[in-house]
Amino acid sequence: MSATAAEMRLHTMDVWVRDAAVLTDADELRTILRDAARVGAATVLDDAFHVFPNGAVTGVLLLAQSHLSIHTWPELALANVDLLTYGAADGEQALTLIEGRLGATRATVSCVVRGRG
Amino acid sequence: MSATAAEMRLHTMDVWVRDAAVLTDADELRTILRDAARVGAATVLDDAFHVFPNGAVTGVLLLAQSHLSIHTWPELALANVDLLTYGAADGEQALTLIEGRLGATRATVSCVVRGRG
């Protein structure tokens, strides 16, 4: 971690999907997040996933550039994705890949600069 | 996970601390985050922590109410904290505990409603 505070960004995306089946497929979600980290030039250190009784999935990748998380709501056909990045990581490319692979019908994306106070 | 989309909130905090030693103490950070989850009425399912060569720590708690993460920058005396909550979890209480236990001199806090598109 050698970036400066000025380079910290939080990317968030709420994404509604065509077919909610992907939102309960933890293995596929892990693959999608790892692929997103790769296209975003982020290095994956570890991950942690949890599947809820209704099939909803919470998953987090620990990155050398911080973290990428997903929380799915199959009953709402909705996923929340958060990516905190530093330095050269490309958050937009990572979120675009996730949006496409989830089969999005609609997405709300934001990017907030962090570490300025 | 039985909340509605209208109850999703992302709480973020960038916090500058008096003594950066706490920012390289992964065990203490894990304890602080778990205590914060408890006062915020969030249930911890799992956690993942990583310590970088310079002592910086990335840690994530997986919560039944989603996730609580910290990324520390000892060289800047700075930590980024992110908490995604649903339903009854009290994000403000959780962040207030973390701010106090880190020995904050300054903090920038925000709360964004999620899942509305």
ipTM of the complex: 0.83
CATH C-level class of A5-113: alpha beta
Q: Which residues of chain B neighbour A106 with C-beta distances below 8 Å?
A: 117
Residue A110 pLDDT > 60, yes or no? Answer: yes
For the residues B88-103, what does the mean pLDDT come to? 93
| DSSP letter, residue A88 | T
Residues, chain B, total?
117
Hey, are the CB atoms on A62 and B58 less than 8 Å from each other? yes
Residue A4 pLDDT > 70, yes or no? Answer: no
Q: Are B11 and B107 in contact (CB under 8 A)?
A: no
Q: How far is CA A76 from CA A19, A99, A111, B12, in A?
A: 11, 16, 23, 24
- pTM: predicted TM-score of the whole model, two decimal places: 0.89
The span from the CA of A62 to the CA of B13, in Å, is: 19
Q: Which fold has domain B19-113?
A: S-adenosylmethionine decarboxylase (3.60.90)
Give, in degrees to the nearest 5, the angle at Cα B51 between B30 and B62. 40
Q: Is A82 touching B (CB cutoff 8 A)?
A: yes
Domain range summary for chain B, segments of one domain joined by +: 19-113
Q: Which residues of chain A neighbour B10 with C-beta distances below 8 Å?
A: 12, 82
Q: Is B105 touching A (CB cutoff 8 A)?
A: no
Q: Which residues of chain B neighbour A10 with C-beta distances below 8 Å?
A: 12, 82
Share of chain B above pLDDT 70, in %: 94
Arithmetic mean of pLDDT over chain A: 91
Q: Is B109 touching A (CB cutoff 8 A)?
A: no
Q: Is B8 touching A (CB cutoff 8 A)?
A: yes
Q: Which residues of chain A neighbour B107 with C-beta distances below 8 Å?
A: 117
pLDDT of residue A5: 52
Cα B67 versus chain centre, distance: 8
Residue A37's CB: how many other CB atoms inside 10 A? 23
* More confident: B106 or A88: B106
pLDDT tens, B44-59? 999 999 999 999 999 9
pLDDT of residue B7: 82
pLDDT tens, A53-62? 999 999 999 9
Structure token digits, residue A106: 């609609």
Q: Is B5 touching A (CB cutoff 8 A)?
A: yes
